[in-house]
Amino acid sequence: MSEKRGRATVVLGGQWGDEGKGKIVDFLAESHDVVVRFQGGANAGHTIRTEGQEYIFHLIPSGILMEGKDCILGGGLVVDPLELAEELAGLRARGVAVEGRVFLSSSAHMLLPYHKVLDRLEEESKKGKSIGTTGRGIGPAYKDKASRTGLRAEMYAKEDERLERILMERVIEINRHIAALYDAEALSPKETVDKIMAVKPVIKPMLVDSHRYLQDAMRAGKDILLEGAQGTMLDLDHGTYPFVTSSNPSIGGAIVGSGVAPKHLKDVIGIFKAYCTRVGNGPFPSELHGEEGESLRQEGAEFGATTGRPRRCGWFDLVAARYSAEVNGLTQLVITKFDILCGMKKVQVCTGYRIGDEIYEHYPRDLSVLEQAEPVLREFEGWDEKLGDARNWDEIPEAAKVYLKYLSDELETPILYVSVGPDRKQIIPAGEF
């Protein structure tokens, strides 16, 4: 046993997803030994840019570009094995050494082709009340998990004939469900089973008992990075239900989905964009409509990494961020896309919600209340300096520091880094205010 036990640091989304988690995990992977994705599935789109190359990861942890680091898809995920095989093949084709470095928890649930069909059918049936999901089958896969009818990755350890039989029965059962509820076209059982079986040679060797792996790694002194997907405001329990995803992107999901117990946690780092975005439907009180929103969307290139949908854009929502800091017990903040705010005459922050005659500083969890919220805005002086080339705290203009200090004070959490561009190098360790 090593003298020093390894510890775990959580990196999670503080807002509605797409905060730049992938970039930060990639950066922090250098000082860690193992990176574990802890929830969600291929609804995630985590972008990393380095040396002129861009990579978008949907399932594979964002530590994969750091040579020598192991990557684990944790038990809390719903994993589409076809997508995983494709993502691995894509990385291999680009010369990334993935062999022997990517492991799949045998208790992760399998997201199979019928989950995607069900996702689409469920959304269509909601008509005007749809959630605006990514269509990646997430809700139906977690539904199967909670109903105890799901299949876990360990299924790939079974011999072919037995697995084929189990899958065939499952597809036939799903077809019955589809016919009864939606009067939609059935899936071809043979074709579906063949597709799932075809990737067995890729998936089976990746299976790991992730509990044992991580316990042994920490005992051997290895430090672990726990990578979240989505964001706290999309959390099934803490987010804007029902306009949420079906997993827990917040701290609870990190514990459950990795199996690392709280006493091993070193830090909980919340990633926040310097403004806010949201993809899909649901309340977003600080949203900017019209030209202002469009301009932020163009400046920030705010188009979904998974679906290509335009992201809704708005000012930094401090009411939601305070709530997120509380829910997660954040110990550090990273502010991303800070470069995007430059050149604005005034930068605004949503400090409260006006609902009827009342001002709310605490997040109202009742959707019917939230839906009426109007933003109370506080204005800050803008700054003109382009920050893309800045690498030191001294290069950040005073007006920008006033904005950052305000966020840090209000969230009662220190800032660790400020990100000023998509590249791995465009990151500044925060200094004193």
The residues that touch ligand IMO, with contacts defined as CB under 6 A, are 13, 16-18, 43-46, 131-134, 136, 138-139, 229-231, 234, 245-246, 279-280, 305
Q: For the chain, what is the radius of gyration of the CA atoms?
A: 22
User: How many residues bind to ligand GDP according to rule CB under 6 A?
Assistant: 21
Residue 181, H or E segment: helix 160-182
- In 3D space, the residue among 253, 112, 134 whose CA is nearest the CA of residue 191 turns out to be 112
CB nearer ligand GDP, residue 21 or residue 101: 21
By CB under 6 A, name the one of 11, 14, 21, 288 that touches ligand GDP. 21
Cβ contacts of residue 34 below 8 Å, gap of 6+?
A: 63, 69, 70, 71, 72, 214, 217, 222, 223, 224, 225
Q: Which of 26, 32, 33, 46 is catalytic?
A: 46
Stretch that binds ligand GDP, among 29-37, 74-82, 126-134, 332-340 (CB under 6 A): 332-340
The interface partner of residue 138, options being ligand GDP, Mg ion, ligand IMO, none and the CB cut-off 5 to 8 Å by kind, is ligand IMO
Q: How far is CA 164 from CA 58, 91, 187, 400, in A?
A: 27, 29, 15, 59
What's the distance, Cα to Cα, between the start and end of the chain in Å?
Answer: 42
144 classed as catalytic: no
Stretch that binds ligand GDP, among 43-51, 160-168, 239-247, 313-321 (CB under 6 A): 43-51
CB 17, min distance to Mg ion, A: 6
Q: Are 225 and 12 in contact (CB under 8 A)?
A: no
83 binds ligand GDP (CB under 6 A): no
CB nearer ligand GDP, residue 32 or residue 46: 46
Q: Are 339 and 388 in contact (CB under 8 A)?
A: yes
46 classed as catalytic: yes
The interface partner of residue 250, options being Mg ion, ligand GDP, ligand IMO, none and the CB cut-off 5 to 8 Å by kind, is none
The interface partner of residue 421, options being Mg ion, ligand GDP, ligand IMO, none and the CB cut-off 5 to 8 Å by kind, is ligand GDP
Task: Please state whether 182 falls in left (phi above 0), alpha (psi between -120 and 50) or beta.
Answer: alpha
Q: Which two tokens stand for residue 265?
A: 């946690």
The interface partner of residue 279, options being ligand IMO, Mg ion, ligand GDP, none and the CB cut-off 5 to 8 Å by kind, is ligand IMO
Give dist(CA 297, CA 277) in Å, integer.
Answer: 9
Q: Which residues are catalytic?
A: 18, 46
